Amino acid sequence: MSNFHVIAGAGSKLDMPIIRTIRVSDLFDALRQGAADFWEKPSHYVMLVLIYPIVGIVLTVWMNGYHTWPLLYPLVGGFALVGPFAALGLYEISRRREQGLDTSWSHAFEVLRSPAIGSIAALGVMLLALFTLWLTAAQTLYESLFGSSTPQTLDGLLSQVFNEPGGMTLLIVGTMLGALFALVTLCSTVIAFPLLLDRDVGAFVAVETSFRAVMANPAPMLAWGIIVGLGLFLASLPLFVGLAVVIPILGHATWHLYRKVVEPASTIRGM
């Protein structure tokens, strides 16, 4: 497979995209465009199919049957870590709508035929590793405060956190730890996956471009991270039902954020 590549792009030279400066108002414009994509082609039907089996099996059977309730909060927070990869199909739908192509939900799987699929997979593995490290760190923190014995029910966990010594420490330190993982994910992937779908630049350039985007726009990008994290958290509260709307909108909006942050390839070639 002579055309298969992961770290570098398909060309002989690294394609280093040009970063634009954006404002916080651009974030809300991206959200508005993402919502328009969502209502144009209701990808939430696909999301409903995916979310309920995952949430039902993992959070009901696993937590209730194996008494892993302490991982509830880390798993909810973990949506923000794996979200950039999980939303790949949504980026593709937005890309196709932008170009006036057919945007049927089945085209979400076109990403599997992307020339950059090797790089996309590599970044997906990186996010999975971060997610695993986050869960491990969260479990280690819990056991350091309460021991290896876990509550049998969700009510037991809440009582432990709010009534026993160490509960506030778990909330504060756990939140700070989760924020650190989220910041690493934001810096390394905020526009990496949309960039790879748009231009086969390789995993290294995709991650490096995301870092440059954050460094060039620290306040808007931090605000974007807060919007994503808060949106996913609030959507998770009503038995995760809200995720069926929030995840598609954020996914589509991320594509439009990418368009605002990165100069088009045609612009660069025309310079």
In the predicted structure, residue 271 carries a pLDDT above the cut 80: no
Read off the pLDDT band of 23 (50, 70, 90): very high
**146-186 pLDDT tens trace:** 887 777 777 777 888 888 888 889 889 998 998 999 999 99
In the predicted structure, residue 248 carries a pLDDT above the cut 80: yes
The pLDDT of residue 234 is 85
The pLDDT of residue 73 is 76
* Domain residue spans of the chain: 32-262
Give the distance between the most distant pair of CA atoms in the chain. Answer: 64
Q: What is the value of pTM for the model shown? A: 0.83
The pLDDT of residue 46 is 65
**Is the CB of residue 87 less than 8 Å from the CB of residue 127?**
no
In the predicted structure, residue 60 carries a pLDDT above the cut 80: no
Percent of the chain whose predicted confidence (pLDDT) is above 90: 41
Rg (alpha carbons) of the chain, rounded to whole number: 20
In whole numbers, what is the pLDDT of the chain averaged over residues? 83
Question: Which of the listed ranges 90-99, 167-176, 188-197 does the model predict with the highest average pLDDT?
Answer: 188-197
Residue entry with tokens 């504060």: 172
Read off the pLDDT band of 36 (50, 70, 90): very high
**What span, in angstroms and rounded, lies between the C-alpha atoms of 214 and 39?**
29
How does 177-212 read in b/e, with b if 16+ C-beta sit within 10 Å? bbeebbeebbbbbbbbbbbbbbbbbbbebbbbbbbb
Q: Higher confidence at residue 238 or residue 235?
A: 235
